[in-house]
Amino acid sequence: MPIQLNEQASQHEEGVHILRLHDSFLMRWLYFGIGVAALLLGILGIFLPILPTTPFILLATACFARSSKRFHVFLLTNRITGPIIYEWCVYRSIPRRIKRWVYLMMALSFGSSILVVSSYWLKLMLVLLAIVLAVLIWRVPVREIDIPVKTN
Q: What is the pTM of this model?
A: 0.60
Give counts: helices (H), strands (E), the chain: 6, 4
Spatial distance between the Cα atoms of 18 and 60, rounded to a whole number of angstroms: 12
CA distance 77 to 28: 21
CA distances from 131 to 69, 111, 121, 137, 148 (A): 38, 12, 15, 10, 35
User: pLDDT tens digits, residue range 71-130?
Assistant: 888 888 888 878 877 877 788 888 888 788 888 888 888 888 899 989 999 999 999 988
- Tell me the residue type at 52: P
Give tens-digit pLDDT for 16-47: 456 677 888 899 999 999 999 999 998 898 88
